[in-house]
Amino acid sequence: MIIRLVVLISSVLIVNAADPELKGGIESSWGTFASACFIRTPDRSFCGAAVIHPEVVLTLAQCVFDEQNSSVVDPRQVEIIAGDMNIAEKSLERQQRDVLQVIVHENYTVHNHRNDLALLRVEQAFQLPSNTLQIAERRRRIVPIGAVCLLPGWSMERSATATSTESNQKYLEVEILDRDTCNQPNMHVGLIREDMICGGNLLRSMNAPCSGNLGSPLFCDSELTGMLSFGVNCGAANDPPVFMQVRFFNRWIEEQLRGMGLSE
pTM of the model: 0.88
Q: Of 86, 101, 135, which marks where a domain is finished?
A: 135
Q: How many helices (H) and strands (E) does the chain have?
A: 2, 18
Domain for residue 164, yes or no? yes
Asked if residue 119 and residue 47 are part of one domain, the reply reads: yes
Range of the domain at 101: 5-20+34-135
Domain for residue 60, yes or no? yes
Environment class of residue 25 by beta-carbon count within 10 Å: exposed (0-12), middle (13-18) or buried (19+)?
Answer: buried
Output the domain CATH number for residue 123.
Answer: 2.40.10.10
In tens digits, what is the pLDDT along the chain, a chain of 264 residues? 434 333 333 322 223 345 667 888 899 998 899 999 999 998 888 899 999 999 999 999 999 998 777 789 899 999 999 999 888 788 899 999 999 999 999 999 998 999 999 999 999 999 999 999 999 999 999 999 999 999 998 876 554 444 444 578 999 999 999 999 999 998 998 899 999 999 998 888 888 998 888 999 999 999 999 999 999 988 899 999 999 999 999 999 999 999 999 976
Asked if residue 159 and residue 214 are part of one domain, the reply reads: yes
* CA 15 to chain centroid: 18
User: How many structural domains compose the chain?
Assistant: 2
Asked if residue 203 and residue 83 are part of one domain, the reply reads: no
* Alpha-carbon span 36 to 42, nearest angstrom: 21
Domain for residue 142, yes or no? no
Tell me if residue 171 falls in helix, strand or coil: strand
Asked if residue 130 and residue 39 are part of one domain, the reply reads: yes
Asked if residue 155 and residue 65 are part of one domain, the reply reads: no
